[in-house]
Amino acid sequence: MIEAINDALSIKLDQDPDVIVMGEDVGYFGGVFRATAGLQEKYGKTRVFDTPISECGIIGVAVGMGAYGLRPVPEIQFADYIYPGLDQLISEAARLRYRSAAEYIAPLTVRSPFGGGIFGGQTHSQSPEAIFAHVSGLKTVIPSTPYDAKGLLIAAIEDNDPVIFFEPKRIYNGPFSGYYDKPVEPWKKHEDSVVPEGHYSIPLGKARKVIEGEELTVLAYGTMVHVARAVCEKKGVDADIVDLRTIVPLDIEAIEASVRKTGRCLIVHEATRTSGFGAELSALVTERCFYHLEAPVERVTGFDTPYPHSLEWAYFPGPVRIGEAIDKILSE
Amino acid sequence: MADGPSDNKQSGGERGNKPALQLHVPEPHYRPGDKVDFSHVEVPEAGRQPRPDEACAARETEALCYDLVRVLGEDYRAHGPWDPKLDADTLRTMLRNFALTRAFDERMFRGQRQGKTSFYMKCTGEEATSIASSMALASDDMVFPSYRQQGILIARGYPLVEMINQIYSNRGDKLKGRQLPIMYSSREHSFFSISGNLATQTPQAVGWAMASAIKGDSRIAATWVGEGSTAEGDFHSACTFATVYNAPVILNVINNQWAISSFSGFAGAERTTFAARALGYGLAGLRVDGNDPLACYAAQQWAANRARANAGPTLVEYFTYRAEGHSTSDDPSGYRSAQEREEWPLGDPVMRLKKHLMALGEWDEQRDEAMDAECADQVKKATKEAEKNGILGHGLHHPFRTMFEDVFEELPWHLKEQSEQAIRERETKFPEGLPKQ
Ligand SMILES: Cc1ncc(C[n+]2csc(CCOP(=O)(O)OP(=O)(O)O)c2C)c(N)n1
């Protein structure tokens, strides 16, 4: 996945002289996850550069660059560190088009590795997507495969609205099943690993059908798509798994179609439970598909605690939690 | 653990011989009713400040960060190396921009009191810090103002009617009635959309300037921020980015002594000057008499030339005084001595410029009176014109659907649904059609 991201950045830097890549350690070194490796060498120091450790500055400067006419792609090293830049995202980037009646826009794409499962402790593991989904004017994208990561990132960079692009770092190098006793197979061996060369994009707001099934709809994104799928396969559940890909804009048609077909809905995300994006999904499904539902909508999420270091796997919404929820829904 | 840090005793406590620490909470010199004495404010003689080369090393401006660049002397004549040597026509244009801004502020303040809008903010006494300084920029240099720089728009010839439409949030308002009054935006006049969140414009200005440099453009950026707002993290991020990338940007700090009811001490003014903030970052810094139009012009010109020559960013502190309340929602008599305004040692910028022009033999009382009358008339006409488009709360606003536009470039399904709901609600409220005005 990391190569797919690098490839997408390289293609856009190549195609569009207004694209700028910047962030802490992204220049010479190529980023702590190597997502920007080689880009500075290829495109020069004024197109790809390191920044001061100031998320407020990174986002604020990117808003100004966007207003000038550039398409900045700032990297926030870990999603946990996006908070110092929140005001610039929420009050400025998200509302610049609105408040200026489209005189000025902020077409930035903020890339940031997010989620846990890599022993990152409580400051390198968070999933803050619900904060952004709550803000009018921001789009939030979360890929779950290398193919999607490339196509969605290219679409995000080409989009004229500010986009938060969260990269599930647990699956940078291979899909994660959630069965942590099983080694992660690298993307190379995986069916979703095929990343075509050159430019392609995936429209924001279109979900992906991971597997077709009749018994149960699973709504998930990022790492949890793979975990949910592994659990369903192991349990032999005939699930309809919908990878949302973007939570704003949301593919409501795909969600409705699937839930109407199966009559049961499980929502899985890694972020904390209370006021998480699962609550929004649950409400939407209930409002729109109530008469098709044969069981209450269930949510499987992280706990409402900070992400613990040593007890990471106890926190993680893994196969046991998902399995129990599936049993509950199917037993209704 | 008895006397360890976890022994969190609230008061006094036995500390042996260790001295008890004391918290300092700043307190302004004068409160309501106090007699004012500004003799502690050092006002150096005009013309005495050296003018270093614009391409000098940032640290060569150190002395100027504690001094006060002044040009206009007690004799109302220009003195010393900072004299920008402006011709009489430019000075008269400047004076007219001052007068027009003052007339505009007067009328809009009254308009708020008459219920035509919800809110207004004057820049009385600070006109030079925006008008004189922006006149030293090119008209296509990008400005990232705060909310007290209406003078820049006026100096750049933005139609007064458009400003008033915005203040009234009427159907003529180009911002579709979304922004608080005075939060203008005009791309055509290289005037950035104003935010209500303080200091956010400062890193944005730096980013714009960086973008201009990345593209090999020749336009520079300038931003204005109040001294109170310099305490925000954004300002410090802006300084860091500006110096790191040698961005062609000017950071203007308007030290008008007050941030609503908090005096400048709460932004750190008791310990050092705002211009001196520049030094730690490696920016050039200038501290300027903000009520001296010629000094304001000269400082901005110096900084602009420096930025244009790729010699670096500059932080300019304008030492001035907020003569009026913070906004129409503020009553300064509740927290500061009314006498402050009268005793302010740097005078009034409009008066000083007028007397300068008179000292040059280029102006007289009759022309001044005529100009003031013309300005008042111009504002009155614009107000009448704008009122045809409606005033706040009187129903002549933009259509409902516009509320949902521009959240995103394209309307997504959930906003489409909500927009339909808003229209349905209106039909339920007014089944016989919209009420007549
Ligand atoms: C982030 C933020 N915090 C608080 C406020 C409320 N507020 C509006 S103006 C103001 C005072 C600003 O003072 P200063 O920067 O000195 O500018 P001045 O009004 O004196 O021109 C405050 C606290 C705000 N608008 N934004």
* 8-state DSSP, B191: B
Nearest to A204 by CA among A258, A267, A148: A148
Beta pairing class for B262-263 and B258-259: antiparallel
**Read out DSSP for A71-96?**
EEEEE-SSGGG-GGGHHIIIIIGGGH
pLDDT of residue A110 exceeding 70, the answer is yes
Nearest to A26 by CA among A11, A45, A12: A45
Give the pLDDT of residue B2. 45
Structure tokens at A281: 């999904």
Atom of ligand 1 nearest to the CA of B232: 1
Structure tokens at B273: 């000057």
Give the pLDDT of residue A189. 81
Chain A nearest CA to B294, separation (Å): 30
Give the pLDDT of residue A329. 97
- Secondary structure in 3-state letters for A176-230: CCCCCCCCCCCHHHCHHHCCCCCCCCCCCCCCEEEECCCCEEEEECCHHHHHHHH
Residue A164 CB-density burial (10 A; 0-12 exposed, 13-18 middle, 19+ buried):
buried
- A191: confidence class by pLDDT, cuts 50, 70, 90: confident
Residue A57 and residue B209: Cβ atoms within 8 Å? no
Using the Cα atoms of residue A227, residue A229, residue A231 and residue A234 in order, give the sign of their dihedral.
Answer: negative
* 8-state DSSP, B193: P
**Hey, what amino acid is at B150?**
Q
Contact A60, B200 (CB under 8 A): yes
Nearest to B178 by CA among B329, B383, B387, B402: B402
SS3 A279: helix
Contact B82, B71 (CB under 8 A): yes
Instruction: Compute, in angstroms, the gap from residue B229 CA to the centroid of ligand 1.
Output: 6
pLDDT of residue A186 exceeding 80, the answer is yes
* Chain A partners within 8 Å of B412 (Cβ): 205, 248-249
Q: At what angle do helices B160-168 and B88-113 cross, to 10 degrees?
A: 20
d(CA B114, CA B123): 20
Instruction: Compute, in angstroms, the gap from residue B291 CA to the centroid of ligand 1.
Output: 21
- A190: confidence class by pLDDT, cuts 50, 70, 90: confident
What are the residues facing A166 on neighbouring strands?
Answer: A112
Beta pairing class for A208-211 and A239-243: antiparallel
d(CA B245, CA B249): 10
pLDDT of A29-46, one tens digit each?
999 999 999 999 999 999
Contact B243, B59 (CB under 8 A): no
Contact B354, B95 (CB under 8 A): yes
A170-179, A215-224, B351-360: segment of lowest average pLDDT = A170-179
Contact B194, B201 (CB under 8 A): yes
Give the pLDDT of residue B1. 39
Task: Select from B260, B262, B327, B328 the residue to mutate for testing ligand 1; criterion: most ligand atoms less than 8 Å from CB.
Answer: B260
Residue A57 and residue B203: Cβ atoms within 8 Å? yes
What stretch of H or E contains A243?
strand A239-243
Give the pLDDT of residue B6. 52
Ligand 1 atom 11, closest CA: B259
Main-chain dihedrals φ then ψ at residue A211, nearest 5 degrees: -140, 150
Residue B211 and residue A69: Cβ atoms within 8 Å? yes
Structure tokens at A221: 């994104």
d(CA B168, CA A223): 50
A142-146, A186-190, B192-196: segment of lowest average pLDDT = A186-190
What percent of chain A has a predicted confidence (pLDDT) above 90? 93
Would the pTM count as exceeding 0.90?
yes
Residue B197 and residue A91: Cβ atoms within 8 Å? yes
pLDDT of B186-222, one tens digit each?
999 999 999 999 999 999 999 999 999 999 999 999 9
Atom of ligand 1 nearest to the CA of B196: 25
- Which residue, chain included where needed, has tokens 């931003």? B223
Atom of ligand 1 nearest to the CA of B200: 1
d(CA A33, CA A77): 9
Residues in chain B: 437
Instruction: Compute, in angstroms, the gap from residue B199 CA to the centroid of ligand 1.
Output: 9
- Which residue, chain included where needed, has tokens 């062609």? B248
Main-chain dihedrals φ then ψ at residue B256, nearest 5 degrees: -100, 20
Contact B161, B167 (CB under 8 A): no
Cβ of residue B183 lying under 6 Å from some atom of ligand 1: no
* 8-state DSSP, B98: H
Instruction: Compute, in angstroms, the gap from residue B268 CA to the centroid of ligand 1.
Output: 15
Instruction: Return the number of CB contacts < 8 Å for A and B.
Output: 146
Residues in chain A: 332
Which regions of chain B are under pLDDT 70? 1-14, 433-437
